[in-house]
Amino acid sequence: MAQPPLLRLDAIKLTFGGTPLLTDAGLSVSPGERIALVGRNGSGKSTLLKMAAGLVEPQDGEVFRQPSATVRYLEQAPDMSAYKTVHDYVIAGLGPADDAYRAHYLLDHLGLTGEEAPGQLSGGEARRAALARVLAPEPDVLLLDEPTNHLDLSTIEWLEEELQRSSSAIVLISHDRRFLDNVTRSTVWLDRGTTRRMERGFAHFEEWRDKVIEEEERDQHKLAREIAREEDWMRYGVTARRKRNMRRVAELAALRSRHKSYRGQEAGASMVAAETAESGKLVVEALHISKAYGERKIVTDFSIRIQRGDRLGLVGPNGAGKTTLLQLLIGDMRPDEGRVRSGVNLEVATLDQSRSLDPEDTVAHYLTDGRGESLVINGEQRHVASYMKDFLFKPEQIRTPIKALSGGERARLMLARALAKPANVLVLDEPTNDLDMETLDLLQELVAGFPGTVVLVSHDRDFLDRTVTSVLAPESDGMWIEYAGGYSDMLAQRRQRSFDEKAIKQSRRDDKPKVEQVKSSTVGARKLSYKQKFALETLPGKIEAAEKKIVEIERRMADPTLYQRDPSGFAGLSAQLEAERDGKAMMEEEWLELEMLREAIEG
């Protein structure tokens, strides 16, 4: 029997400035649920979450919260001005029965002491403080609006694990696909003012969304054909009784009204980078460069060659020096030691992490840099309103001041300006912040298909996996290592390197005793026993059979629907795979010892 909801919103309606934002939206949250709330920027996701938290009242509809249920809401820009320290801010979010120790635990794991002054926090530190405040009480319902913004990868992965262990019901808005995939088990899609729900995690959302849109379009096509048939009857049909004709006239009017009121999918963004002449084959060469701030080493003895067509991603914790290394590579900063050589014919377009915008500037003035009302994109002159439309801005926003834009709109505006500049090198510092999924998809396609060179900094694992050809990651004392492939490839290579280093150390410890053991076992023994000979001959076949079985199990586990369909079967296969791998390793070890023994006897 399903548990009663802790929180429920039904038939929610809200209108801003004459345009309906929410027309029939709903949300139901039961204990332990993990819900992804998805939709385009401006669709009303944050507003719906604020209604669930009791911060915004709907114009119509019902909002129910269980009186005993505790609800905590993570807003995108929390106000900490009333608190002297971060510790005070976090503790203020606890209830009378909550454990203050958990607040200290969270601050420690989020890299904060608690003594920081709220007014001096960076964007990432403010986000971590806000997370500590909402997580500390372990509420019945957690409402999280873009929790990963401004967080580094290690903190994002820690937060994933923390939420997976949490007993709270969670409603989550995020642009981070991998984060949503790993945390959520249900999806609510807010689209054109209404909500639809799927009882599967975000990993299945795009397939479901495309099917819903396809069914909608098919229904509208059927409706149009039905209207055409009725109109044909009106014009050419045999006239029946007047009462019957009036009924059909009314039915036709209702059909037309349904067809007219249908709001199709809004046009998507259309991103194209303004291209210029091809750069030289060598874009950047760094030779033994180093950079330090006092005793703190940022880059130490680092060398790299970036060539035309490379797509390089920089990853690492906040404060590791990603932006500094980026500035060294593109020549915006000089190294303390070593040299950086730039290639020929470079045209660089940069998207800066700082998002430094004049709040009083208008959208059109910012895009054209004050040079009239047109831009030249790939040799074609375009009116600024037409170019704005490619990035989902409405024509009436041409005179809108930047201070009136949402975070997502500001991100799109900066992208629009960066991509308008003719370039054969794109330098993107945190380009995915505040972008919705569809705009993110287009940016991924643009970066992956850009004919020039791309250097980017990102904490978005999925974005890195889909776009870059290599990853730069920090180690210790300013050392940076380049890994081929995306973020997942980097993790695999790091694991393999760690495994190899352990194996080498173990081999060094084991080799001497094992050689002595083999030597001692050959004293007085002129030949292998029958049992040893048999094992030496049959073990290679058994190892090969084990390898085939491992491959087959891995193939079955690769089915993305298996865990959803049969969790116990998936667990059984996982255990079987582990056992097969252990058995294969033992057989390989036995064969190696026997082969060494055979060589010792024959030698």
DSSP SS3 for 111: coil
pLDDT (mean) for 151-166: 91
Residue 507 within any structural domain of the chain: no
Residue 498 within any structural domain of the chain: no
Of 204, 234, 253, the position where a domain reaches its end is 204
- Please report which helix (H) or strand (E) contains residue 220, including its range: helix 205-236
Give the up-direction half-sphere exposure of residue 46: CA atoms within 13 A in the CB hemisphere: 17
Residue 514 is predicted with a pLDDT of 53
Give the least confident one: 160-164, 218-222, 241-245: 241-245
pLDDT (tens digit per residue) in 360-380? 888 888 888 888 888 887 778
- My answer on whether 15 and 162 are in the same domain is yes
Phi, psi of 80 (to 5 degrees): -110, 10
Q: At residue 417, what is the residue type?
A: R
- My answer on whether 165 and 54 are in the same domain is yes
- My answer on whether 465 and 543 are in the same domain is no
Residue 508: is its pLDDT beyond 80?
Answer: no
- My answer on whether 358 and 444 are in the same domain is yes
Phi, psi of 277 (to 5 degrees): -60, 150
The CATH number of residue 401's host domain is 3.40.50.300
Residue 271 is predicted with a pLDDT of 64
Residue 255 within any structural domain of the chain: yes
Residues of the chain with pLDDT > 90: what percent?
35
Mean pLDDT of the chain: 83
Residue 494 within any structural domain of the chain: no
Residue 312 within any structural domain of the chain: yes
The single-letter DSSP state of residue 140 is S
The CATH number of residue 583's host domain is 1.10.287
- My answer on whether 194 and 224 are in the same domain is no
If we measure between CA atoms, which residue out of 84, 154, 101 comes closest to residue 124? 154
- My answer on whether 129 and 142 are in the same domain is yes
Q: Among all chains, which residue has been given the structure tokens 């005070």?
A: 88
pLDDT (tens digit per residue) in 60-85? 999 999 999 999 999 877 889 899 99
Phi, psi of 7 (to 5 degrees): -150, 135
pLDDT (mean) for 436-461: 86
Contact of 167 with 32, CB cutoff 8 Å:
yes
| Per-residue pLDDT band at 33 (split at 50, 70, 90) | very high
Strands of 413-479, DSSP E: 425-429, 453-457, 470-474
Residue 503 within any structural domain of the chain: no
CA 3 to chain centre: 31
- My answer on whether 255 and 311 are in the same domain is no
- Please report which helix (H) or strand (E) contains residue 255, including its range: helix 242-261
Going from the C-alpha of 540 to that of each of 282, 537, 577, 581, the distances in angstroms are 49, 7, 19, 15
Residue 490 within any structural domain of the chain: no
Give the up-direction half-sphere exposure of residue 176: CA atoms within 13 A in the CB hemisphere: 27
- My answer on whether 455 and 538 are in the same domain is no
- My answer on whether 89 and 188 are in the same domain is yes
| Per-residue pLDDT band at 233 (split at 50, 70, 90) | low
| Per-residue pLDDT band at 171 (split at 50, 70, 90) | very high
If we measure between CA atoms, which residue out of 188, 204, 166 comes closest to residue 39? 188
Tokens of 145: 């609006």
- My answer on whether 219 and 362 are in the same domain is no
Residue 522 is predicted with a pLDDT of 47
pLDDT (mean) for 407-424: 83
Four-CA torsion 314, 320, 324, 328, nearest 10 degrees: -60
- My answer on whether 29 and 140 are in the same domain is yes
Those residues with Cβ within 8 angstroms of residue 450's Cβ, 6 or more apart along the chain or in another chain: 273, 311, 426
Higher pLDDT pick, 139 / 376: 139
Contact of 347 with 276, CB cutoff 8 Å:
yes
Of 485, 507, 534, the position where a domain reaches its end is 485
Residue 276 within any structural domain of the chain: no
Higher pLDDT pick, 211 / 18: 211
Domain range spanning residue 231? 208-261
pLDDT (tens digit per residue) in 173-224? 998 999 999 999 999 999 888 999 999 999 899 889 888 888 877 877 777 7
State how far the Cα of 377 lies from the Cα of 446, in Å rounded to an integer.
15
Tokens of 369: 């840099």
Domain count, the chain: 4
**β-strands 186-191, 19-29 pairing:** unpaired
pLDDT (tens digit per residue) in 540-574? 888 888 888 888 887 777 766 666 677 677 777 77
Higher pLDDT pick, 355 / 388: 388
Going from the C-alpha of 73 to that of each of 107, 146, 385, 454, 489, the distances in angstroms are 18, 11, 37, 37, 35
Give the least confident one: 240-244, 351-355, 446-450: 240-244
- My answer on whether 436 and 397 are in the same domain is yes
